[in-house]
Structure 1
Amino acid sequence: MSTLQITGQSMTDMEVRAHADHHASLRLWLRLLSATTRIEDTIRQRLREQFGITLPRFDLMAQLEREPQGLSMSELSRRMMVTGGNVTSIVDQLEKEQLVRRQMQLTDRRSFTVSLTDDGRAVFSAMAQAHEGWVVELLAPMNESEQESLHNLLGTLKSGHPKSPKETP
């Protein structure tokens, strides 16, 4: 299996699994997967190197940045599509670093609302600015018009509603 060199790190290129005789949809899927994996791996590495933070911790802080009043642990779990245990572990780490605060909900003393601290907002702001620059850099091989076209095409794909197996004749 071939590999790509990204910022000094080797990763598997999923696209090599496809052959010319495979359906175009399969080849496209593997190309999308390879591109997404390449971008995500680069961002993970840069977050770790430049900010000493993991992508899941960054993602949790991004959720909280959008909701200044905070979010419940269960809502964080739902939005991040991870288990409650994973969210608890991430919140525990960020709380130790005083980047988030956990407050008991008045209506349910077993539930907590998590929000960014002032320090957490400042740290996240710096990370988000760097993150945006990295994404711009990683997508720079395509000009603005190509990016807009791809965005529109992926929007069509995203909004498509293929028939479920039960609906197929």
Structure 2
Amino acid sequence: MKAKSKTIPEPISKTRLRLWLRLLKLSAGIEAELRRRLRDGHDTTLPRFDVLAALSRHPDGLKMSDLSGYLKVSNGNVTGIVDRLTEEGLALRVAIPGDRRAQLARLTPKGKQAFDTLAEHHEAWVDELLGGLSLDEAETLSRLLEKARTEDDAA
């Protein structure tokens, strides 16, 4: 008679590590595809799209320092992008009364229109790239990821 071999269950840390690697692979793949589509189809970049999106969410404008903090990038990176957007008539800088050093960046109507077009494409691309998930699966995964984030934030 054969002796039954007992398998030692894998520690949950290994399962979570594999999950993290899968999330990274998925995220990197989606980001690379979005970058490619923005570049090839719209002659723009993901950082530029992110600046347009942030300014779109703040129609009254954002201080340049707040914009860089919001996007978690350096002031220099944001300044270069906003400079180019301004040159193209998509954004403008407005002086802040009483603060000679600070400026607000905001979208022009042309910038808002350009962003709205990009945002429609971006949403459709993400929908396509995650099209293997049903509505229920996407909602469940979203809830689980939020739960993981919340538990991490609590620690």
TM-score, structure 2 as length reference: 0.89
The alignment status of 1:100 with 2:91, answered yes or no, reads yes
Matched, 1:135 2:126: yes
Q: Residues 42-80 of structure 1, C-alpha deviation per residue, up to 9 Å, x if partnerless?
A: 111111111111100000010000111000000001000
Structure 2: distance between partners of 1:48 and 1:63 = 19
Pairs within 5 Å for 1:117-156:
117-156=108-147
Deviation at 1:109, TM superposition (A): 1.2
Partner of 2:39, secondary structure, is helix
Q: Partner of 1:38: helix, strand, or coil?
A: helix
* Aligned residue among 21, 24, 30 for 1:33: 24
Query: Which residue is equivalent to 2:151?
Result: 160
Q: Larger Rg: 1 or 2?
A: 2
* Equivalent-residue separation in structure 2 for 1:64 and 1:163 (angstroms): 30
Runs of 4+ in 1 over 6 A off after TM superposition: none
Query: 1:50 is matched with which residue?
Result: 41
Q: 1: distance between equivalents of 2:147 and 2:116?
A: 32
Which of 55, 62, 72 aligns to 1:71? It is 62
Unaligned runs of 5+ in 2: 1-9
Which gives a bigger RCO, structure 1 or 2 (Cα 8 Å, sep 6+)?
Answer: 2
> C-alpha offsets along residues 87-121 of structure 1, whole Å, 9 cap, x if unaligned?
11111111111110011111201111000001000
**Aligned-residue CA RMSD in angstroms?**
1.6
What's the TM-score once normalised by structure 1's chain length?
0.82
Q: Percent identity?
A: 43
User: Would you tell me which structure has more helix in proportion to its own residues?
Assistant: 2
Stretch of structure 1 that moved more, 153-162 or 139-148: 153-162
SS in 1 for 2:97: coil
Partner of 2:94, secondary structure, is strand
